[in-house]
Structure formats: C-alpha cells, structure tokens
Chain A
C-alpha cells in the first residue's frame, strides 16, 4: 500500500517545479503552463486527502471540479490577453511588457 506521504511529496515537488516555471520563464505562455502545473499539484493533494481521511464525503470532488473550471477560465482569459498584447507589441516576453511598470 502507498502511504499518504508519497502523494504529498509528489504534489510538493510538482508545485515547486511549476513555481520555478512561473518565476523563471520568459515567455508568457510558458508562465501560464507553470500555473497549470501548480493547480494540478493542488488537485493531487485534494484527492489524496479525500481518499485517506474522508472517503465518505464528496466535498473534495466538488473542490477539484471547481478548480478545473477556474483553470479553464484562467487559461482562456490569460491567452486572450497574451494574443492581444502580441498583436500590439509583437512580443510575448514577460519582461518586455513593461509599459505600466513604475
């Protein structure tokens, strides 16, 4: 049998890889991909805690489905913004989109 800690360590490492992707990548699309990895790590944690501690309740499934919906909404709006920026500035490098930086 698999102890709970294996799932938690997997989710922690996946979250940190996603965090690195968000902070270090230059391309805005790659940053959104990193956010997807972080959301998936959270989902692994939610489902693992459901299976190990509260398998009789359905709340974890509802949370995960809502995380799916949020991820879809976030990707749709984020990519629309990136495409709009690309049309005007001809770049998707996050450090070149600095018009509103003080």
Chain B
C-alpha cells in the first residue's frame, strides 16, 4: 500500500464517519460542525485528484460561506425540534432506500471494467485556474452556463432577501 492509498483511505474514512455523524446527531450545531469536517475531507480528495484550485474553492465556498450560513440558520431557528427525536416517522423507509441505493450503485460500479484503470500522468506545470478562467468566458467554452449561473446567483440573492425580510406591520 503506497502513501497515496493510505492518505485516500484515511480521508475516505474521515468523510464517511463525519457524514454519518452529521445525519445522526440530534444537536444541529454539532451536525453543522461534522458537515464542515466532511466538506474539508472532500477538499483533501480534490487535492489527491490534482485539482488544487477546486480544493481551495471548496474551502472558500462550502466551509467559508455555506456552512456559516447553515450555522446562522440553526441559531436563528432554535425551536422545540432539538428536544425531540431527530428523525421523522418514515426513517425506516429512508434507511432501506439508502441501503438499497448504496448496494445497487456498488454492484453497478463493480460490473464496469473501466473502474480498475489508474490515473495517467498529468502535466503539473499547467495552470488549471487560468485555463478554467479562459474557458468560462470564451464563446467556444462555457460563457452561456457561466452567465446563467451569474443570473441565478443574483436572483437567489434578491429572492432570499425578499423571502426572509420581516413582514410589515398591519399586514
């Protein structure tokens, strides 16, 4: 077993453990911290896959922004839910469905011959961030999805402000 495999197995175990703890914790603040741990593990996986820029963006966007918004929401909506059971009455069906899904996916992955392939050599002197930047704004690349994503983010920003704004008095 090489060092890379050891790092991968450790990180995968960390991600799956943190994810499992996240979906089973009763206290939502603890769940949010386990979510941060799992997201950090995913960014380590990105580094293992030679996608350093995405790892940095993962830390910035997911841990720096999304998790913080989650923690804010948990603190703003602290109600009676924390005292009750964390799962709803359908949780047996959910467990069955998730287990079946995992089983089926792993069988499908096992049947596909290409999964045994190893990663080829990659030119580490390439500037992937610069390539991505050019691809996102070039008409031959992804300028339309990029603009649509920008409009979507703007709409989400305005929509979130409108939805979460306190109601006016007498309404």
Residue of B nearest to A81 (CB): B163
In the complex, the answer to whether B38 meets A16 with C-beta atoms within 8 Å is no
Q: Chain B, 47-59, contact with A by CB distance < 8 Å: what is the 0/1 string?
A: 0111101100110
Q: Chain A, 42-83, contact with B by CB distance < 8 Å: what is the 0/1 string?
A: 011001101111010011011011101111111111011111
In the complex, the answer to whether A86 meets B61 with C-beta atoms within 8 Å is no
A26, A48, A62, A83: the one contacting B81 at CB < 8 Å is: A26
Instruction: Kindly list chain A residues whose C-beta atoms are within 8 Å of the C-beta of B86.
Output: 25-27, 30
In the complex, the answer to whether A55 meets B57 with C-beta atoms within 8 Å is no
Instruction: Kindly list chain B residues whose C-beta atoms are within 8 Å of the C-beta of A7.
Output: 45, 49
* A contact set with B: CB distance below 8 Å: 1-10, 12-21, 23-27, 29-30, 32-34, 36-37, 40, 43-44, 47-48, 50-53, 55, 58-59, 61-62, 64-66, 68-77, 79-84, 86-87, 90-95
**Given the known A-B contacts A10-B15, A55-B120, are A64 and B153 also in contact in the complex, defined by CB atoms under 8 Å?**
no
Known: A47-B46, A48-B49, A52-B118. 9 other contacts (CB 8 A): A2-B5, A13-B102, A14-B19, A26-B84, A29-B70, A30-B28, A36-B62, A51-B49, A84-B163
